[in-house]
Amino acid sequence: MQSALITGTSSGLGRGLAQRLHDRGWDVIGTVRDEAHGIGAPWTCVLADVTSPADIARLGQIVQSRWGKLDALVNNAGICQIGPWEELSDQEITHQLNVNLIGAMNLVRQTLPMLRQGPGVIIQISSDSGQIAEAMFGAYNASKFALEGASEALLEEVEPDGVRVVIVEPGNFRTQISRNSPQPQGKNSTQRYSAQWKKIDEWLTWHGNESPIPEKCIDAIVAAITNQDAPFRLAVGQDVSESIRLRAKKIISQMDASDKFLNSH
């Protein structure tokens, strides 16, 4: 029986993925932050906080004692801290990075010996925000851009052992991340971003109620787990791959401008 450890299975992508793999005969462990969120789940739910080193170490021990190997690790747990740089606190920025980046890195470190036994696959749930930055999402962009860069390095480190790494870059899908997105305690404290905050509030309402259901993204993650030829990056959602291509063209243009500037000064 194949094994999977998935973080953030209380709702959304994580829960849908855990159910899908369970239905395909996988033995699944999913993490939740509240015991109530695991009630009724047919897979094993473990209470764990990805920002807790003790919880991360315990997850590694559970995987080792239960399976001794790991076929798939899915770093799905995440939050989206919204707000402009100057209205965010030290604690809010740090928490964003701890959940989306450092927790994922620490869990890979704990489970890599078991993933080598498979060899298994590491699925990093990033976002189109891991490629495309936008005002009011700077902290979230920082966490996802960093996750993608760290995963590029990780791929080079583990590829010789046969361990695969796949970054999934979803666009807008209807999950709880928008409903649970923390807004800074100092929201609009500078009075400089009132128009942007109005757009954010409208977007959050749309995202939580009218954005596409996540089945297409769950399909993509399952395909990445179960197919050895999955590419390193999977951009999923309407216009996501095209938006990332446009950003790549913009970077090329910026490099052309860089060369021209340096050659003229």
Residue 38, C-beta contacts closer than 8 angstroms, at least 6 positions apart: 9, 10, 30, 32, 45, 47
pTM over 0.75: yes
So what's the pLDDT on residue 93?
Answer: 97
* pLDDT tens for the 265 residues of the chain, in order: 999 999 999 989 999 999 999 999 999 999 999 988 888 899 999 999 999 999 999 999 999 999 999 999 999 999 999 999 999 999 999 999 999 999 999 999 999 999 999 899 999 999 999 999 999 999 999 999 999 999 999 999 999 999 999 999 998 888 877 777 778 899 999 999 999 999 999 998 888 888 888 899 999 999 999 999 999 999 999 999 999 999 999 999 999 999 999 999 9
Active site residue 140: yes
The active-site residue, picked from 140, 145, 173, 193, is: 140
So what's the pLDDT on residue 208?
Answer: 83
